[in-house]
Structure formats: structure tokens, C-alpha cells
Amino acid sequence: MTIASQPAVFLDRDGVINEPVHDPQDGRPEAPLRAQDVALAPGAVEGLAELARTGLPLIVVSNQPAAAKGKVAESDLAAVHARVVELLAAEGVAIEDWRYCFDHPDALDEARRDCACRKPRPGMLEAAASDHGLDLTASWIIGDTDADVGAGRAVGAATILVEHPKTAHRRSPDLVADVVVGDLAAAAAWVVGAAAR
Ligand SMILES: [Mg+2]
Ligand SMILES: [Zn+2]
């Protein structure tokens, strides 16, 4: 049996689908750590709806190290995930697959310090490709940081950088994406245009 190989659209979560939230511990906008802090980002619903019309699988790939670093419980991260899903469902948006890396080099548990899935490593994309029969070199990744661009580069995917104004501290001028846009709606328009060519 052969599995048809198709492109997918990989999406980062924080700063693309939902708004970053001010983290009192490091003073910067990072992942929301409480369900009540989740708010969808401007252009996210519009962009996801447009991407869904392409028929390509939409797969979220997100680094979530806060529990590994001891900042919150794993159940808090699960609650944030559930809230994002809930807010999207209320807008009629469904994501095919959610993939999270819960590891970090500073993890309290040594077993979580080194992994193949923390972006910019490509483990989440590769695992999704294996599970869904995806052609990674024909896929896109949409994210707001160098880690997203790096993960996409590592598998030969096209990279779209969303320059969320609150997460500029996670972007360097050295790593240039294939496309640079302001929000997910603009990213989706680019994917749709490229898919039509
Ligand atoms: Mg992000
Ligand atoms: Zn990981």
C-alpha cells in the first residue's frame, strides 16, 4: 500500500493563532499560561478559514516549555490548549492535528532537557509527516520566530514569518524567511496564491 504524499500547512500557535501574554517572570510576551488569558490574534480566524478552503491539512507545531521549567503545571498547559481549541471551534475553525514539544534545555527533569522536537529542530514536523503521509518539501510553515523558520528550513518547507509586534525579541535579522507578513490572514493569502500557481 502506498500513502499519498500531500503538502500541509504547519502553524506555530503563540503569536500566530493566539496573542502572546506578558510574562511577569521574564518581562516579555510569551505563551499564555492560564486559560483565561487566551485571546485569538488579529487575522487568525480569517487566515485559518482561508487556509481551510485549500483542503490542505492544518497542523499546529508549538514549543511549550513552561511546565518543564516549573513555571506551571502540565494541566495548565492542557487547559490553555483546550481554550484555544474552544475559541477556534466557536469560529468554525478546526485544526487537523496539534503537536507540542514540552521540553526545554533548562527543564527540571533531566529527561526533558534534550529532544528532537523542540523547534528549530524538525521532530514535530517529521512525526506529523510520517503519521499523515505529508510531503514536507512542498509544505509551508507559518510562525513568528526564528525557531519556526529554522524548523521549516530543516525539512525544506517554505517559511512564512509573521512579524507579531510583541515577539520581535524572538526574531533576528540573520534568519530570513521566504515570505514576511504582518498576520495570519496575510500569510494565508500568500499560501492560497502559491497553491493556485
Ligand atoms: Mg510563536
Ligand atoms: Zn521536545
Q: How many CA atoms lie within 13 A of 73 on its CB side?
A: 4
| Catalytic hit among 14, 103, 144, 148 | 14
pLDDT exceeds 70 at position 101: yes
More confident residue, 8 or 196: 8
Looking at the CA of 107, name the nearest ligand. 2
CATH superfamily of the 9-164+183-196 domain: HAD superfamily/HAD-like (3.40.50.1000)
**Which ligand gives the minimal distance to the CA of 148?**
1
Distance 119 CA to ligand 2 centre (A): 8
Average pLDDT over residues 58-74: 97
Of 12, 103, 146, 148, catalytic = 12
* Confidence bin at 25 (pLDDT 50/70/90): confident
Is residue 26 scored above 90 in pLDDT? no
What integer is the mean pLDDT of 155-164? 98
pLDDT classification of 120: cutoffs 50, 70, 90: very high
| 148 CA distance to ligand 1 middle (Å) | 8
Quote the percentage of the chain above a pLDDT of 70.
98
H-assigned helices in the chain: 44-52, 74-90, 123-132, 146-155, 184-196
Distance (Å) from CA 102 to ligand 2 centroid: 6
Q: What is the mean pLDDT of the chain?
A: 95
Is 131 marked active-site? Answer: no
Domain definitions of the chain by residue range: 9-164+183-196
Å from CA of 3 to ligand 1 middle:
31
Q: 1 pLDDT exceeds 50? A: no
1 CA to middle of ligand 1, Å? 37
What is the per-residue pLDDT for 175?
A: 87
CB 84 within 8 A of CB 122: no
Give backbone dihedrals phi and psi of 179, rounded to 5 degrees, phi first. -135, 140
Worst-scoring range by mean pLDDT, 5-14, 18-27, 151-160? 18-27
pLDDT given for residue 75 in this prediction: 98
Higher-scoring residue by pLDDT: 128, 3: 128
Catalytic-residue membership of 114: no
Residue 104's nearest CA partner among 19, 175, 161, 30 is 30
Gap between the Cα atoms of 59 and 51, Å rounded = 11
**Residue 197 pLDDT more than 90?**
no
The ligand placed nearest to the CA atom of residue 113 is: 2
Is the pLDDT at 84 greater than 90? The verdict is yes
Q: What is the C-alpha separation between 174 and 195, in angstroms, rounded?
A: 27
> Does residue 133 surpass a pLDDT of 50?
yes
Q: Taking residues 85-96, report their average pLDDT.
A: 97
Whole-number pLDDT of residue 196: 75
